[in-house]
Structure 1
Amino acid sequence: MWKKVRNSKIYVALLGAAILFTVSTQVTKAGYLNPGTSEDPIVTQSYVEKRNEQLKYYIDQKISEMGGTPSSGSQAPAAFQVIEVNKGQIVIGQAGTEMILRSGTAKAIASQSGGLSDLTAGKDLKSEENVPLNHLLLIPRDDGRGLAITWDKTFIMVKGGYEIR
């Protein structure tokens, strides 16, 4: 009996009508959706740029409320400064300070939270470990990390806050 129904003209007509209804519903639905909504998550470049501008305005507004200055986009990055330190002195960096030992010798001063981040070698320098020349070091936290100088007239390039003791 099922075979007779499948071969009949009524079955073919109903199947065709169902397919046509499904396709036309999807085409109609796609034409009325706005890009970027939850129904149609595909977005355009102008939509993304508009959202980025709104986000930048929101962040600048929050910074202004906290008493800071909003980002200007044309602000020059901080430059390295060269400092000269002598044997026995220590250089303690603040959080985010970058240091490069240019000449002389120094040992790392670590804290209980960890050592100095040697970004050039991709490792952590522990306390009393020799600092290699010309390696970029990062002080991750403001917890007393820095360099103990072991050679007279040692030159260090520093970007960020530091203290010489």
Structure 2
Amino acid sequence: MERKLRVITIISMLVVGAIAGSLLNTTADGASNLATPGTTNDPVVTKSYVDQQIQKALGNGSSSEPSNPSTPSQSGDEIKVVTLKPGKILIANAGAEFIVRSGKAVIYTQDSNGVADLTAGVDLLNGQVAPSNHLLSFPREGRGIKVKDGVNSNLVVMVRGGYTLQNQ
């Protein structure tokens, strides 16, 4: 008898739970607050619009001018392949990124801070070897790379962002 009472109690609890669950069926927290994509509450925008708004917010509609107008420069997301001859220094604009594809490169900087090697997760200081195929980030102007002293071959560097070429 006691066993029957226990089974009936368990079954009735499950039935009551199922009924209560169906009556109290609600969406997950926060899901009801989502707007339908493409409406005025959640508009769909293009990348170019977002980039334009970021440029307006930063207050610079165009990239900074290079220090020497006769040397090449670029900005944006375009990647350019640059060949650097011995005796030249490839100076990055703030925020530029370099990848040394071939040749022996060293870091060039006039201050005590260095260049971020994002691939290895280290900071490279003036005169240290810039490893091939590593993504190098230049947080400020005035830092760059050059051909290692004593090496006569050129460097081939992929560049994203602005840069200038200077003589050593």
Scaled by the length of structure 1, what TM-score is found?
A: 0.56
- How far 1:61 sits from its partner (Å)? 5.8
Aligned partner of 1:135 in structure 2 is 133
- How far 1:92 sits from its partner (Å)? 1.2
Please state which structure has a larger fraction of its residues in helix. Answer: 1
Distance verdict in 2 for CA 1:152–1:28, change over 3 Å: same
Deviations 1:100-139 (A, max 9, x none): 1523x332124544334162x554322211334x333412
Inter-partner Cα distance in structure 2 for 1:63 and 1:143? 24
Matches within 5 A, 1:27-66: 27-30=22-25, 33-34=26-27, 37-38=28-29, 50=37, 54=42, 56-57=44-45, 60=49, 63-64=52-53, 66=56
Scaled by the length of structure 2, what TM-score is found?
A: 0.55
- How far 1:86 sits from its partner (Å)? 2.9
Please state which structure has a larger fraction of its residues in strand. Answer: 2
- Structure 2 residue runs of 5 or longer lacking an equivalent are 62-76
Aligned partner of 1:26 in structure 2 is 21
Larger RCO (alpha carbons 8 Å, 6+ apart): 2
Q: Which has the larger radius of gyration?
A: 1
Distance verdict in 2 for CA 1:99–1:161, change over 3 Å: farther
Choose which of 133, 144, 147 in structure 1 pairs with 2:145: 147
SS of 1:97's partner is strand
SS of 1:139's partner is strand
Inter-partner Cα distance in structure 2 for 1:112 and 1:137? 20
Inter-partner Cα distance in structure 2 for 1:90 and 1:55? 46
Give the residue type in structure 1 aligned to 2:23: T
Give the residue type in structure 2 aligned to 1:57: V
Does structure 1 conserve the Cα–Cα contact (< 8 Å) formed by 2:138 and 2:144? no
Does structure 1 conserve the Cα–Cα contact (< 8 Å) formed by 2:100 and 2:157? yes
Distance verdict in 2 for CA 1:144–1:55, change over 3 Å: farther
Aligned partner of 1:125 in structure 2 is 124
Aligned partner of 2:107 in structure 1 is 108
Aligned partner of 2:74 in structure 1 is none
